Structure 1
Amino acid sequence: MFDTMTSTKVVGAGCGALLVFLLGGWAGETLYSVGGGHGEDEQQAYVIDTGAAPAEEAAEAVPFADLLAAADPAAGQKVFAKCSACHKVDGGDATGPHLNGVVDRQVASIAGYAYSDAMLTHADKVWNGEELNAFLASPKGYVPGTKMTFAGLPKDTDRANLVAYLATLP
């Protein structure tokens, strides 16, 4: 019942359908493409004025010391909620070391806490405002290989408020 002529027709129909599909895609792409895409210099034909001001350049960066001087420890306590999953402020260690007295403390200096080798290489530094700012912005960027998996705090004001809060802890 299924002879060679029938199988030839089935294969031919499949090839024909594929050819129509490919040609339709090529025709649609040709009709609706946005640019030449062949290395030609393309320029915008016209600009629609929306009345909005052009994007201003980024404001000049404020030194972290100035942000820290104006920081709000109460706001920093709210930011600390992100840290409290791994760090305690009651003198006990958790996943991370406790943060009591961390400001102006030697890096990797909590006795009994198992710091990563990467953090131990920074043990000659002190957690001052600038060091904490750099670390909190991107822990893995500042200390590659650290065990701290937190991505960091992107906002300067959040980091300043957090450091101000940590400075109030005994």
Structure 2
Amino acid sequence: MFDTMTLTKAGGALCGALLIFLLGNWVAGSLYTSGGGHGGEDHAATGYVLAVADGAHAEEEVVEAVPFADLLAAADPAKGAKAWSKCKACHKLEEGANGTGPSLFGVVGRAVGAIDGFKYSDALTGLGGDWTPENLNHWLENPKAYAPGNKMTFKGLKKETDRANLIAYLQTIGG
């Protein structure tokens, strides 16, 4: 059997080992940091600023936006299935199976707020129209900005390609 002194020593050794690991993590974090935006410091970008003697010679880079229809045409439904993992906590893909959110079976092309038996917010019922790929793109980007006052807590998908992939996946479900 163990006596209390042995248990005390074992507990002290465990606490000491945890403190050593925490100290090691702190030291490693301070030595090998990438400057990633914590601590109130401004870590805007890593690199060099090159001064240009005459601003007239500087060329501006023009980035052309790709139309969403083109992104959707090139979208990968398999990647959209992975993006779906962020939605499945609240939504279901089976027809008539509502979760916290309405069923997304056949959502692409469906009228907004059209699932019978689901209590939509006034913000959504007041939108009208259909869930076109373009409307879904704007909704998925930022639901609170698209329909202020809606009940959805999801913050949105920031990458347009992720939204296109998800919509391409949803087009394969039901419709």
TM-score tier (shorter): 0.5 to 0.7
Residues 1:139 and 2:139 aligned together: no
Q: Work out which of the residue numbers 103, 110, 130 in structure 1 matches 2:108.
A: 103
Residues 1:63 and 2:62 aligned together: no
Higher Cα Rg, which structure: 1
Residues 1:87 and 2:91 aligned together: yes
Aligned to 1:74: 78
Question: 2 CA distance for matches of 1:135 and 1:79?
Answer: 15
Provide TM-score, normalisation by structure 1.
0.66
Aligned to 1:116: 121
Question: 2 CA distance for matches of 1:82 and 1:48?
Answer: 39
Residues 1:151 and 2:155 aligned together: yes
Question: 1 CA distance for matches of 2:133 and 2:139?
Answer: 10
CA RMSD of aligned residues (A): 2.1
Q: Describe the shift of the 1:135–1:113 C-alpha distance in structure 2 as closer, same or farther (beyond 3 A).
A: same
CA deviation map 1:49-107 (0-9, x unaligned): 59xxx9x7472211100000000000000000000111011221000001000000000
Question: 1 CA distance for matches of 2:103 and 2:122?
Answer: 18
SS of match in other structure, 1:113: coil
Alignment of 1:125-136 (within 5 A): 125-136=129-140
Question: 2 CA distance for matches of 1:151 and 1:90?
Answer: 24
Question: 1 CA distance for matches of 2:159 and 2:77?
Answer: 15
Runs of 4+ in 1 over 4 A off after TM superposition: 47-50
Provide TM-score, normalisation by structure 2.
0.64
**Percentage identity across aligned positions?**
56
Aligned to 2:36: none
